[in-house]
Structure 1
Amino acid sequence: MAESPSTSRAPEPVGAYPYTRRVGNLLFLSGVGPRQRGQNGIPGVEVDEDGNVLQYDFESQCHAVFQNVRYILEEAGAKWDDLVDVTVFLTNMKDDFPVYNRLYAEYFASAQPCRTTLEINCLPTPIAIELKCIAALPN
Structure 2
Amino acid sequence: MKTEETSTAHHSGRAPEPVGLYPHARRVGNLLFLSGVGPRQRGQQAVPGVELDEQGRILRYDFESQCHAVFQNVHYILEEAGARWEDLVDVTVFLTNMRDDFATYNRLYAEYFASSQPCRTTVEVNCLPTPIAIELKCIAAVAG
- In the superposition, the TM-score normalised over structure 1's length comes to 0.99
Q: Is 1:33 aligned with 2:38?
A: yes
RMSD: 0.5
**What letter is aligned with 2:118?**
P
In structure 2, list runs of 5 or more residues that go unmatched.
1-5
Q: CA deviation at 1:49?
A: 1.5
Query: Which amino acid letter does the alignment assign opposite residue 27 of structure 2?
Result: R
Give the whole-Å Cα distance in 1 for the aligned partners of 2:45 and 2:128.
16
Equivalent in the alignment of 1:98: 103
Q: Give the 3-state SS of the residue equivalent to 1:43 in structure 2.
A: coil
- Give me the whole-angstrom Cα distance separating, in 2, the residues matched to 1:86 and 1:64: 16
Mapped partners of 1:45, 1:5: distance in 2: 28
Q: Which residue number corresponds to residue 107 of structure 1?
A: 112
Aligned match for 1:82, one of 72, 81, 87: 87
Distance 2:7 2:78 in 1: 16
Distance 1:49 1:111 in 2: 42
Q: Secondary structure at the match of 1:73?
A: helix
Shift of 1:111: 1.2
User: How many aligned positions are there?
Assistant: 139
Does structure 1 residue 5 correspond to structure 2 residue 10?
yes
From 55, 78, 84, the equivalent of 2:60 is 55
Q: Does the residue aligned with 2:46 lie in a helix, a strand or coil?
A: coil
Does residue 67 of structure 1 match 2:76? no
Rounded Cα–Cα distance in structure 2 between residues aligned with 1:98 and 1:59: 11
Deviation at 1:84, TM superposition (A): 0.2
**TM-score with structure 2 length normalisation?**
0.96
Pick the aligned partner of 1:125 from 115, 120, 130: 130
Percent of aligned pairs sharing the same letter: 78
CA distance in 1: counterparts of 2:11 and 2:73, whole angstroms: 13
- Which residue identity is paired with 1:94? R
CA distance in 2, matches of 1:8, 1:93: 31
Deviation of 1:133 (Å): 0.1
